[in-house]
Amino acid sequence: MNHALRLLVPALVIAALAVPAPVLAQQVQVPRSRAEIGLTFAPVVARTAPAIVNVYALKNRPRANPMLDDPFFRRFFGAPGGPGFGGPNDRVQRSLGSGVLVDRSGVVVTNNHVVEGADEVRISLADKREFDAEILLRDPRTDLAVLKLRGGKGDFPFAELGSSDDLAVGDIVLAIGNPFGVGQTVTQGIVSALARTQAGITDYGFFIQTDAAINPGNSGGALVDGAGRVIGINTAIFSRSGGSQGIGFAIPADMVRVVLQSALSGSKTVRRPWLGANLQRITADIAEGLDIGRPVGALVQSVVRGSPADQAGLRSGDLIVSVAGQEVDDPDAFGFRFVTRPLGGSVEIGVVRQGRQLSLNVPLVAAPETTPRDEITLSGRSPLTGATVVNLSPAVMEEMRTLDADKGVVIAAVAEGSPADDINLKAGDVILEVNGVPIATTADLDNATRTPSRIWRITLKRGGRTISAVLPG
């Protein structure tokens, strides 16, 4: 016997003898009947698995042909993206994810990143039936998408949405999806943590963390509790190898419900409560300066005039510490608690102002779209070509998180490889001025970029900073 092991054995024996028999009996429980030996999650899986689907997103992409980069060949064989050398110049990209049927009529919830950019979406059910699907709503801010199956008799299996607030750390959960495309797979684990707010995955960072094995292909699948209710949508893993390492993140069912309700109402965007204030995370240094002891809460940086926050009397410098009696540790936790409240009425928020505890009632209303978006994708020969821009309004400011802007037009998207992408323009940038011309509407910007110029002077706002740049034409 190994010498170290020989030394250890007597110590273990002594330790075991020192523990009274009743205590040992309480610590270790053996099965007391044949029924207990046969305990299984099979009934939960049998009830839920039929509602878990595979999501196939098909994207048509131009096939690169290096000879078409040469003007001589392009003259005879056409431009990139068109017919080249006698055949189609496209290729089809296929991505695979999972989804959950949440309504008898064939409504599916999945991740936005599973279907983003898709030209066609097909759904495969657990019983091998396949259907085309329509995208009802995509919400990049939560990384959720809602689809609707085409065809069928409208009597599909579906899973019940639970409440993520009913969860506790240590609860047993099941993850159901299609990892690596191997087919429907069930893994089991526990809730490792709740309210994870610094995962950096979506705008509303408030995730359920689990050690149930989640891998590529599980995205959009269900996290299920012991009663068979969907309490989260699996969306991401923390991994250094590309495989599961016991840290997976799921979007809570309470957030899923908000996006689903907007889709079922016919809206193409998610209608959620609007605060109208910029919030900041509390650091230890700020907590010490405010004399609040612990670095928890959301610090108000600024308030939009006329917004619900303004109407409630919220001020710059206030520290928000609770929503409807539930404590919030940071701006992400506040965002989740606030936007998952139903529209209509008001909600009470707890505030610390100069050492005093206050309660303020914030109206629960959606941000209004006071100005038509008038979306335009800029073309021509300017550095802004390839940028899609929209007019500012409270709704757009909320979506794009540009609450510090009160004029200009905001970039909603930038085409990959475009001149706008080359100069590092980003969604959320607000264009204020081009070549000395103030920009108030998308039409103003379209006109300002149609006139050729040898030099372009562009002023924009990004993250509260005003930036000016001089670029060649």
Known catalytic residues? 113, 143, 219
Tokens of 232: 């989260």
Q: What single letter denotes the amino acid at residue 454?
A: R
| Residue 177 to residues 66, 75, 100, 221, 248, Cα–Cα distance (Å) | 39, 49, 9, 5, 13
Using alpha carbons, select from 105, 141, 138, 103 the residue that is nearest to residue 121: 138
Q: Which tokens sit at 280? A: 């900041």
Token code pair at residue 333: 């936790």
Tokens of 219: 């995205």
* Alpha-carbon span 332 to 339, nearest angstrom: 11
Residue type for position 253: A
Q: What secondary structure letter does DSSP report for 64? A: P
Longest CA–CA separation in the chain, Å? 91
Half-sphere exposure of residue 200: CA atoms within 13 angstroms, side-chain side: 1
H helical segments located in 19-130: 21-27, 34-37, 42-48, 71-77, 112-115
DSSP code for 459 = E
Tokens 């009934």 appear where?
Answer: 43
Instruction: Tell me which H or E stretch contains 14.
Output: helix 3-18
CB contact set of 185 (below 8 Å; sequence gap of 6+): 176, 177, 178, 179
Upper half-sphere CA count for residue 207 (Cβ side, 13 Å): 24
